[in-house]
Amino acid sequence: MQVIDRTTVLLLANGAVLAAYTHMAKFASAAGAPPLTFALALSGGAAILLCVLGLARRQVSAPNARLVRYGLVAGLLSIALPQALVFAAAPRIGGGIAALAYAFPTPLTFALAVTLGMERATALRTLGLAVACAGAVWLAFARSASIGGEIIWIALAMLAPFAIAGGNIFRARNWPPGATSFDLALAMALGAGLWLGTAICGLTLLAPNSPVLPVQDAGYTYLAAVAVLAAFGWILYFELQKSAGIVTFSQMGYVGAGFGLLAGALLFGESYSAAVWASVSVIATGIVIAEWARRRAAAA
């Protein structure tokens, strides 16, 4: 058995891209770019670049009803809805509770996949996923100075993992025949961009004083940079989904959290408590167990 296979490489690559999004969002916010505008650049901006690239290389497939439906539903469940929920709730409930929203998609996806017969549960893999989830919950609490907020906003934030898990299942069960990773990356990014663009327009109409554009020139640089990164990131996203089962795919958030902390410490001089690093080691242990169980089952 290989020490590291293609699926593991793609899982690590997607985690690294996710970590980069996290740090770029932080810098963009400091430059005055509103979170929803950053999310729009990550999806709609990436869609424009993918469209230009596809047309230049003649890679864009002719749109059909199934591909359009796939993009709209996947874009809503996997990107637009969870981001809107978390971004809206975070200022009111604190970062710790909001971060918990990204701890639960993996166990929820696993439970749905097993129930629907898409994945086979094994004791060792279930243990690994449980350990990784426990580490993610610990990390969310370890990084938060305050846990609290109005119950309605906590409930709304906790809807995000259900949307993400639902999006994972939808994408896995509805991959259009003959569609490539490029086709689906473009479709989902366009769908998410349409939903987020509509939300921003609605917000502007309801609250005309709400900020939409960055207040500093640097903000536009970060928006452009994340659009370029996401254009390639969404292709990697679907390559991972194609290579792995949807449960392995859903562990990307755990990998991204670990890489995000490593980048913060090594590249940006951030410091974290011993509890944070301990929780990351628990997440890593859980992922190693789950992936070892997956590869052992695949080789059997």
Interval 212-257: pLDDT, tens: 766 778 889 999 999 999 999 999 999 999 998 888 898 888 888 8
Give pLDDT, residue 99.
61
Give pLDDT, residue 29.
83
**pTM for this predicted structure:** 0.86
Give pLDDT, residue 69.
96
Confidence of residue 1 (pLDDT cuts 50, 70, 90): very low
The full DSSP string for the chain is --SS-HHHHHHHHHHHHHHHHHHHHHHHHHTT--HHHHHHIIIIIHHHHHHHHHHHHT-PPPP-HHHHHHHHHHIIIIIIHHHHHHHHHHHHH-HHHHHHTTTSHHHHHHHHHHHTTSS---HHHHHHHHHHHHHHHHHHHHT-S-----HHHHHHHHHHHHHHHHHHHHHHH-PPTT--HHHHHHHHHHHHHHHHHHHHHHHHHH-TTS--S-SSHHHHHHHHHHHHHHHHHHHHHHHHHHHS-HHHHHTHHHHHHHHHHHHHHHHS-----HHHHHHHHHHHHHHHHHHHHHHHHHH-
Q: Encode pLDDT of 117-158 as tens digits.
A: 888 888 898 999 999 889 888 887 776 655 555 677 777 878
Averaged pLDDT score across all residues of the chain: 86
